[in-house]
Structure 1
Amino acid sequence: MLNEIAVENFTLVPAAMAAGAQRIELTGNLTAGGTTASKGTVIESLKYCHEHNATVVAMVRPRGGDYVFNDTELKIMEHDMLEMQALGVDAVIFGVLTKDNHFDKDAMENLIAAAGGMQMVCNLCFDWIPKADQKEALDWLVDKDFTRVLTHGGLLDTNILDNLDQLKQIVDWADGRIQVLPGGGVNIDNKDQVTSFMGVKQAHGTHLLGELTANK
């Protein structure tokens, strides 16, 4: 089982590694759903993780809230994407939607170009897309060479255990073409149930390995 732990500062990176994390999602402001971490945090986290045979997925998101970003916010995301590429980040996680909650394909393609070959992961914006259109959206991610899609199987105000059928449906749609990563409410107590039902061997969360305590 590959455990991807989401952390919002460097102090929890060594704690996550010690607990058994193999991949870190590096973000800021988790209470807002995650935003882009600072350059300094990225540099030190990359150094530590690579020394301990772990990889880093960096969030590129200018603010919390919805995933409909204006032109200035998209420019900020592009600058951040280029910075992550220059720093040698292993993967980036991002997503942009239109006002009717479908992929903003023009904006996404600009960010894909800025990613410059880094692995790309679609964030939880996927769950905002109407379920009737999610298969088509998943096909688009495959076509654009995304490595993974992070999904809760529904909006975050739902319990992930109530979304297992939808999560399994997404796995079936993916058909091995793209990894489906369950997240949002996955923890040490329900991780095995979620991943077993879906037939996947990776999970994402802040508490996958229990409560982390940073060493001061």
Structure 2
Amino acid sequence: MLSTSCKGEPGEKLVAEICVDSVYSAAVAESAGAQRVELCSSLAEGGVTPSAGLIEITRKNISIGLHVLIRPRRGDFLYSDLEFEIMKKDIELAKRMGADGVVIGILKADGNIDVGRTRELIEVSHPLSVTFHRAFDLTPDPFKSLEDLLALKVDRLLTSGQEETALQGAALIKELVKKSANQLIVMPGGGINENNISKIVAITGVKEFHASARKKVSSSMGYCRNYPAMSSMQQLSEYENLVADVNKIRAIREVSATVR
């Protein structure tokens, strides 16, 4: 089942996946040299499943790999039966919309990977590429969790090495790469930028990486009223947004191209 599922440049050794939550950011990522995007909504809150419209229009506007996040809500990764049904339906929808892969993560109450439910999601996903996301970083034993994912034949693991950033977790990521023995792709993510990508790759020996590389942009609205806020949890005003930064992505790609 192992597949990078990226429509990138022939012979490219280090694959760049950019996390985006808009068609605009996906197009920016492609123009800056990324080989794949992970598409979600509400990236400022950690990301949830994008709408059917967002998936379809993004697919029509980029030719690089498109992986879709399957996460029915923010917060923990312990899902109810109804939420699990939503996840399966969203995977089927992503397949119909032309996604190349899905990004999933589901845990049990004890923090371990829910192997049974993950297997069901993988079966629904076939033949798409499957990435298990940073829910992995909340598990109590990373090596047991890796064994579970290897047994499930997951294609890819996104992880910060159970630390806040991939650089901080580089030692664990290195061990995960070693123990996976090329049976799955270990992809670091979390705080990756042009200043640390070389060090992370040098320490870990990874072949792919995941970054957001965003910048804050202001709205084009002529009339702005700052009260009331539309959400009590929002990190930005109604007149700000975070989008992929073409210069940051190009800088990361330029640096990463010299690593191998």
**TM-score in terms of structure 1 length:** 0.89
- Indicate the SS of the match to 2:23: coil
Checking the alignment, whether the CA contact within 8 Å between 1:85 and 1:116 is kept in structure 2 is: no
Checking the alignment, whether the CA contact within 8 Å between 2:158 and 2:188 is kept in structure 1 is: yes
Checking the alignment, whether the CA contact within 8 Å between 1:188 and 1:207 is kept in structure 2 is: no
Structure possessing the higher radius of gyration over alpha carbons: 2
Q: Match of 2:40?
A: 27
Checking the alignment, whether the CA contact within 8 Å between 2:154 and 2:184 is kept in structure 1 is: yes
Q: Match of 1:204?
A: 210
> Deviations 1:29-50 (Å, cap 9, x if unpaired)?
1122111011111112112222
- Indicate the SS of the match to 1:109: helix
> Deviations 1:75-131 (Å, cap 9, x if unpaired)?
11011011112222101000100111111122212212211221100000111111x
Identify which of 108, 121, 131 aligns with 1:98: 108
Whether 1:9 and 2:22 are equivalent positions in the alignment is yes
Q: 104-113 vs 20-29, which deviates more?
A: 104-113
Letter in 2 for 1:176: N
Identify which of 167, 190, 215 aligns with 1:184: 190
Determine the C-alpha separation between the residues in 1 that align with 2:175 and 2:66: 28
- Indicate the SS of the match to 1:162: coil
Q: 84-93 vs 60-69, which deviates more?
A: 84-93
Letter in 1 for 2:46: G
Identify which of 57, 70, 78 aligns with 1:60: 70
**TM-score in terms of structure 2 length:** 0.75
Checking the alignment, whether the CA contact within 8 Å between 2:213 and 2:244 is kept in structure 1 is: yes
Equivalent runs, 1:1-216 vs 2, <5 Å: 1-50=14-63, 54-130=64-140, 133-155=141-163, 158-207=164-213, 212=245
Q: Residues 111 and 159 from structure 1, CA distance in 2 versus in 1: closer, same or farther, beyond 3 angstroms? A: closer
- Indicate the SS of the match to 1:63: coil
Determine the C-alpha separation between the residues in 2 that align with 1:57 and 1:211: 16
**Unaligned ranges ≥5, structure 1:** none
Count of aligned pairs between the two proteins: 206
Determine the C-alpha separation between the residues in 2 that align with 1:112 and 1:41: 23
Checking the alignment, whether the CA contact within 8 Å between 1:14 and 1:48 is kept in structure 2 is: yes
Determine the C-alpha separation between the residues in 1 that align with 2:52 and 2:148: 30
Determine the C-alpha separation between the residues in 1 that align with 2:96 and 2:112: 30
Determine the C-alpha separation between the residues in 2 that align with 1:170 and 1:32: 27
Query: Could you tell me the percent identity over the aligned residues?
Result: 30
Deviation at 1:14? 1.3
Q: Which runs of 4+ in 1 moved over 4 A?
A: none
> Deviations 1:46-87 (Å, cap 9, x if unpaired)?
12222xxx1011000001111111111111101101111222
Q: CA RMSD in A?
A: 1.8
